[in-house]
Amino acid sequence: MAAKPYNDEEWDKIMQTLRSTEGHFGLPERVYGSVVLGSFNIRKLGSPKSRNQRTWEFLAHVCRHFDLLAVQEIQDDLRGLRRLMRLLGPDFGLIVSDATGTFPGGPGLAERLGFIFNWRVVQRTEIATDITYDRSRVVETLAINRDDLEKPLDKLGEALEDIQEWEAAGKPPPKPKKPKVKVPVFITFIRQPFCVSIRISGHIDTQPYELMAINAHLYFGDYLSDRRQEFDALMEWILARVKQNDRAYYPNFMLLGDLNLDFDNPDTDRRRIEKYMKSFNNNSGEEVEVNFPFLDPHPKGDGKVFRTNARLSETFDQIGLFSRDKRLPDFRDNTTMGTNPVGPDYGVFNFVELFSQALRGRPFDDLNKPEKKAEKKEFLARFEHKVSDHMPLWIRLPLPT
C-alpha cells in the first residue's frame, strides 16, 4: 500500500516550522549582493497528478530561493515541470534537454535535465548542448580494450539469443531478462550531461561571471566501477575543454548534479576522492582551479560532510568549480566558507530534518536506533516519492563588484 502524502494540516506545520526558523535547515536565504546556484534531483518529476497541490507549492517555495537550479529526473512528460514553473511565476525561466537514457520508444526510463533560472540575475547566452564522446573515441576505446570486452559481449549475446527464441515462440511472460554485465571500460554516458552557457551580472560597470553550467545525472548501476567510469569520463571531458581557453565559449565550468559518488564511508571515501580531486588540480594547469566544496566538512558545521540523500547516508550530489576567474572560490577558500553573508558559502536544504522536527518534534537521528527501523521506513515513505529522495544543495557567490 502506497504511503499517504502529507495533508493540509501537516503541510501547515511544516511551513510554520520553516518560516519560524528561517535558515535553520539550510534553505539559502535571499541576501542582497549574492547569487545562489544549486542542484536538486526531484524524484520522477513528471505527471502533475503525481503530487498534490501543497507538495507542488512546497517545491516551488524551495526553487524560488535559487537563481540557477540544475534539476535532475525530469521525466519525458513535462506537464509537472510546467506546473512548477507556473507557480514560480514570470521571474523564472527554464531550459530543458530532450529525453536521454533510452532510445525513443524503447524500454527504459527516459529523463530530461533542466535549468530553472532567475531572469533578473542569470542571463542565458548562446550555448545549449549535450556532452558526448565522439564515435572515433568510442571506436578507439573498443579497439584498445577488445580483449577485456570479449567476455561481457559473449554474455550479452547468449542472453539476446534466449530473448529472440522466446519472442519467436510467442511464449507468455515472464520474458527472459538480460544479465547484469560489468563493462570494464567507459563507452558512453547512460544519460548525456546537459551544458548551457550563462552570464551572471553584478553591480554596474563590473565584469560578469561567465560560466558553462553542466547538469549531470550519472550512472548508479549495479557495479561501483561503472559509476566511477562515468565520473572519470566527465572529469576528463571538462578538464580537456577548460584547458582550451582560446576555444572554449567561456573559460569557467560549473558541474552540478547527481553524480552518484560512492561516499557512504567518510573516513575512507573522503580521503580517496579528495586525493583524486587534487590530482585534477595538478593536471589542469596553473591557471585552472578545481574545487568540490562538498567533499569538505563545512567550517561552521559539526565536522561532518553534508549528506544529500533523504536517508542522510550519502553525498551523491555535488557541485564542482573548474575556474580561471580568480573571483570564484578555490579549494583553499573552503576553510573560511560562510564568514561573509554574501558568500562564498555552500550548504544543503535538509528538509528531512525539517519534516521530522515539524511532524515528530524530534530530530531525524532519533530514528536511526535499531528498534525504530519500521518507524523510520514509514517516515521516509511519506515523502521520498512525493517530494524527493534527494535534498537540494547550493553554493552562494558574491555578485561581481
- Residue 7: pLDDT above 90? yes
The ranges assigned to domains in the chain are 8-145+185-398
- Range of lowest pLDDT (101-115, 164-178, 249-263): 164-178
pLDDT of res. 386: 94
pLDDT: which is higher, 222 or 72: 72
Please give the Cα distance from 75 to 100 (Å, whole number).
Answer: 10
pLDDT bucket at 271, cuts 50 / 70 / 90: low
101: left (phi over 0), alpha (psi -120 to 50) or beta: left
Let me know: does 28 contact 396? Beta carbons within 8 Å.
yes
Which cell goes with 308?
Answer: 544529500
CA dihedral 30, 32, 33, 39 (to 10 degrees): 10
Q: From 319, 286, 361, 275, select the one nearest 37 (Cα to Cα).
A: 319
The residues with which 289 forms a beta bridge, in sequence order, are 323
pLDDT tens-place string over residues 8-51: 999 999 999 999 987 789 999 999 999 999 999 999 999 999 99
pLDDT tens-place string over residues 47-83: 999 999 999 999 999 999 999 999 999 999 999 999 9
Over residues 194-212, the mean pLDDT reads 93
The DSSP output letter for 49 is: G
Q: From 398, 400, 293, select the one nearest 342 (Cα to Cα).
A: 398
The contacts of residue 78 (CB under 8 Å, 6+ apart) are 96, 112
Please give the Cα distance from 395 to 68 (Å, whole number).
Answer: 10
Let me know: does 208 contact 400? Beta carbons within 8 Å.
yes
Instruction: Record the pTM.
Output: 0.93
DSSP 264-305: S-HHHHHHHHHHHHHHHHHHS-TT-EEE-GGGS--TTTTSSP
pLDDT of res. 281: 66
**CATH number assigned to the domain with residue range 8-145+185-398, chosen from the 4 options 3.30.70.360, 3.30.470.20, 3.60.10.10, 3.40.1170.60:** 3.60.10.10
pLDDT: which is higher, 113 or 290: 113
